[in-house]
Amino acid sequence: MKLLLAGLLMGVLCSGAWAQQSMGSESARMAAAEKLFYTPAYRKLIIRTLYETFETLPPDKNKAAVEALNDPSVVNAMRRVLLRSMAGTYSVGELEFLQRTFAAPEMDTFMARENAFRDTLMREFTAAVLSDPALLRYVPIFTSE
């Protein structure tokens, strides 16, 4: 899913359109960021990414981070940080593009298949490493380091 978001963002940046449009006012960017934030598919992505990030923490810190999400003030603070970061980085046009993309009906099925994609990718990586063990040094997910 991170690949999807990265691909969408790279598409926006590489298209050259971003250079031709103004960033828009701060309030317009915040409004566009908030609209994107409340798009269900985008929310699912953000929540999933958050929990995946927590899983990289040591067990005690992971537990504390997950428990902190029960506090509405923590969730609200995280939402504000995310909105400010999005509005400070992307133009209104870019945020609106992402919102339209994540609001598309196809996005629900796309995201539902993301686990299957990850499983397929892991099988393919495993097969590649089994057929060429020299790849181990290039695919860090298979090492204990």
pLDDT digits (tens, 9 = 90+) for 36-84: 999 999 998 888 888 888 999 999 999 999 999 999 999 999 999 989 9
DSSP state of 91: -
Q: End-to-end CA distance of the chain, in Å?
A: 24
Q: In this structure, are 76 and 34 located in the same domain?
A: yes
> DSSP of 6-36, one letter per residue?
HHHHHHHHHTSHHHHS----HHHHHHHHHHH
Q: 10 Å Cβ neighbour count for 6?
A: 10
- ∠ CA 8-85-98 to the nearest 5 degrees? 25
Do 143 and 100 share a structural domain?
no
Domain-embedded: residue 10: no
Number of domains in the chain: 2
In 3D space, the residue among 53, 95, 109, 50 whose CA is nearest the CA of residue 74 turns out to be: 50
- Per-residue pLDDT at 139: 66
In a domain, 1, yes or no: no
Q: Are residues 117 and 107 in the same domain?
A: no
Percent of the chain residues past pLDDT 90, beyond the cut: 43
Distances (CA, A) of 15 to 10, 32, 36, 99: 8, 20, 20, 17
> Sorting pLDDT into bands at 50, 70 and 90, what band is 132?
confident
Domain with 127 in it: 113-145
Q: Do the Cβ atoms of 95 and 86 come closer than 8 Å?
A: yes
Distance, in Å, from the CA atom of 33 to the CA atom of 23, rounded to the nearest integer, reads 12
Report the predicted TM-score, pTM, of the whole model to 2 decimal places: 0.65
Query: Per-residue confidence at 19, pLDDT binned at 50, 70, 90?
Result: very low
CA 41 to CA 39: how far, in whole Å? 6
* Residue 120, domain member (yes or no): yes
